[in-house]
Amino acid sequence: MSISNAIIRIANLRLRTFIGFNPDEMQKQQDVVINIEIHYPADKAYAEDDVDKALNYKTITKQVIGHVEDGRFLLLEKLVADVLDIASAHPWTEYASVTIDKPHALRFADSVSLTLQWQKEPE
């Protein structure tokens, strides 16, 4: 049986951080909404039903939470790139995508979002 890579989706992780370069943004934390997608080969995990052979999304999520909540970011680009680094760090990861929304960043918009993607280079 041929099964494609597993796709882990962490949806709508709501956190607060210092994001922005305007004086009020540097003094007050703002909400951000994070969506992460990670692709990895899960054939050994499902074939053997072995936790140690699965990518641990709880560990990744805890790292993201710590980094975002403890950080200060001038640009959304920096925040997204940092989270993408965390999402793509595991050696099994073949592809990762991170989108972060900054709700109410613009007066007449629900949010502003930015997406960055990473893909493992072919060997």
8 A C-beta contact, residue 16 and residue 79: no
Q: What is the pLDDT of residues 51-96, one digit of tens each?
A: 888 889 999 999 999 999 999 999 999 999 999 999 999 999 999 9
Q: Mean pLDDT lowest for which of 30-34, 39-43, 56-60, 81-85?
A: 39-43
Domains of the chain in sequence order? 6-119 (3.30.1130.10)
Q: Which residue has the higher pLDDT, 46 or 88?
A: 88
Query: 33, exposed or middle or buried, with CB in 10 Å at 0-12, 13-18, 19+?
Result: middle
Amino acid at 26: M
Report which of residues 28 and 62 the model is more confident about: 62
Q: What is the pLDDT of residue 43?
A: 82
Dist. CA 80–CA 53, nearest whole Å: 27
% of the chain beyond a pLDDT of 90 = 71
- Give backbone dihedrals phi and psi of 121, rounded to 5 degrees, phi first: -70, 140
Of the candidates 37, 46, 43, 44, which has an alpha carbon nearest to the alpha carbon of residue 4? 43
pTM, two decimal places: 0.91
**pLDDT score of 1 more than 60:** no
Beta strands at 6-19 and 72-73: parallel, antiparallel or unpaired: parallel
pLDDT of residue 2: 62
In this structure, are residues 77 and 89 in contact, taking their beta carbons and an 8 Å threshold? no
Place of tokens 């597993």: 6
